[in-house]
């Protein structure tokens, strides 16, 4: 299978490039500088010229707070350009893999979120991702969408990177103990995505590591594994007064994708321990 990776310099894009290179799979990868997905003419030109079998869209407008003021841009990157990409993929007979978010949910469920639960985003970023999903699902059968959460890997758009910055600058940390989801490794996402592509899956799935945690628990576990001695004070989400509202509870179940592929996805704690031997910048 020939792959095309878009958003190759983001944390998920980097992990796809690393994995596909190490396994000797044929692929082409473009960073935003090389191919901006909002440039529809160039996007079409590149996809038609390369004729990949699978396009893996790792691009995203991911700035949750900024999306409150730059909604148009978020919508363009996370929804409208993705629909156009799906149309080009259909033209060349490619599957489009796209990633969405747990922030499509409002946090009112008292159990793990499943694929059949109704979204109700609390912020503009969540809306832009939800609209992206809806457009793809209504468009047709050449799309595979994975909702994921609290993604970390080799990059800066993650909580562990922020923790490291705070450790350097602050005497103690204040981390929300009332915001729950699932820390998810880019290595898990890549592994499962490649299996799903081999099996020819399409549709919508939740792709997260197993279990769930509060941000506070995630930070404590990270410090324990890394041997970082810094006091973490449990705080409440509202104390941070962030522009975008976040769901307090958005942990998702990975049962559907596990059943479909006949796999087990590691618990987030075990995955994190393994990853810290692997990701040099975490
Ligand atoms: N990070 C999380 O916690 C999280 C949680 C839930 C879901 N997700 C989803 O998981 C997927 C992967 O996210 P990630 O964590 O790998 O994000 P990331 O590290 O922020 O990577 C996103 C990449 O998209 C690129 N990009 C932005 N606008 C673009 C455009 N117009 N054209 C082309 N490229 C563009 C960015 O380029 P620049 O670096 O140049 O800006 C960046 O390299 C996304 O769909 C995201 O919404 C992430």
Local structure of residue 119 (DSSP, 8 states): P
Is 175 a domain residue? no
274 part of a folded domain: no
When pLDDT is averaged across residues 238-257 and rounded to a whole number, the result is 95
Residue 224 has pLDDT above 80, yes or no: yes
272: in domain: no
Is the CB of residue 144 below 6 angstroms from any atom belonging to ligand 1?
A: no
Q: Is residue 216 part of a domain?
A: no
Q: Which residues pair with 238 in a beta bridge?
A: none
Q: Is residue 239, in this structure, part of any structural domain at all?
A: no
Digit-coded pLDDT (tens) for 53-92 = 999 999 999 999 999 999 999 999 999 999 999 999 999 9
Residue 166, CA distances (Å) to 20, 148, 163, 205, 282 in order: 33, 25, 5, 34, 13
- Tell me what the mean pLDDT of segment 128-151 comes to: 95
Weakest mean pLDDT among 119-133, 135-149, 184-198: 135-149
Is the residue at 198 inside a domain? yes
Res. 278 pLDDT band, cuts 50 70 90 = confident
CA count, 13 A, side-chain hemisphere, 47: 28
Report the nearest-CA residue for atom 32 of ligand 1: 36
For ligand 1, atom 30, name the residue with the nearest CA: 36
Q: What is the CA radius of gyration of the chain?
A: 18
176 in any annotated domain: no
CATH of the domain at 111: 3.40.50.720
> What pLDDT does 282 receive?
81
For 172-203, write each residue's pLDDT tens digit: 999 999 999 999 999 999 999 999 999 999 99
84's tokens:
């156009």
Ligand 1 centroid distance, CA of 171 (Å): 31
- Closest CA relative to residue 133, chosen from 82, 181, 94, 87: 82
Place of tokens 């363009």: 76
Taking each helix axis from N to C end, the angle separating 159-169 and 215-226, rounded to the nearest 10 degrees, works out to 70
Instruction: Check: CB of residue 104 under 8 Å from CB of residue 246.
Output: no
Cα 203 to ligand 1 centroid, rounded to whole Å: 21
Q: Euclidean distance between the first and final Cα of the chain, in Å?
A: 31
Q: What total number of domains does the chain contain?
A: 1
Sign of CA dihedral 113, 117, 123, 126: positive
Structural domain boundaries enclosing 255: 3-158+183-210+250-267
Largest CA distance in the chain: 56
pTM score of the predicted model:
0.96
* Nearest Cα to Cα of residue 82 among 17, 7, 150: 7
62 lines ligand 1 (CB under 6 A): yes
Give percent of the chain with pLDDT exceeding 90.
92
Q: Is 37 helix (H, G, I), strand (E, B) or coil?
A: coil
């Amino acid at each position: 299978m020939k792959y095309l990776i878009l958003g190759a310099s983001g944390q998920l894009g980097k992990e796809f490039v690393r994995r596909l290179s190490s396994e000797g799979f044929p692929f082409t990868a473009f960073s935003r500088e090389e191919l901006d997905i909002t440039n529809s003419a160039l996007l079409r030109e590149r996809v038609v010229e390369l004729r990949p079998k699978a396009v893996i869209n790792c691009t995203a407008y991911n700035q949750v707070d900024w999306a409150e003021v730059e909604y148009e841009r978020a919508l363009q990157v996370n929804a409208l350009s993705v629909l156009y990409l799906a149309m080009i993929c259909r033209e060349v007979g490619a599957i489009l893999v796209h990633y969405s978010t747990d922030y499509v949910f409002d946090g009112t469920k008292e159990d793990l979120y499943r694929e059949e639960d109704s979204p109700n985003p609390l912020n503009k970023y969540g809306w832009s991702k939800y609209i992206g999903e809806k457009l793809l699902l209504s468009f047709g059968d050449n799309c595979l969408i994975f909702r994921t959460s609290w993604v970390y890997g080799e990059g800066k758009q993650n909580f562990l990177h922020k923790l490291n910055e705070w450790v350097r600058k602050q005497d103690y940390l204040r981390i929300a103990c009332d915001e729950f989801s699932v820390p998810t490794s880019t290595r898990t996402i890549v592994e499962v995505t490649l299996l799903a592509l081999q099996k020819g899956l399409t549709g919508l799935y939740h792709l997260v590591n197993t279990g769930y945690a509060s941000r506070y628990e995630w930070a404590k576990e990270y410090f324990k594994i890394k041997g970082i001695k810094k006091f973490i004070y449990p705080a409440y989400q509202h104390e941070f007064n962030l522009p975008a509202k976040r769901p307090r509870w958005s942990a998702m179940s990975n049962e559907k994708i596990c059943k479909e592929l006949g796999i087990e996805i590691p618990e987030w704690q075990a995955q994190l321990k393994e990853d810290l031997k692997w990701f040099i910048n975490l």
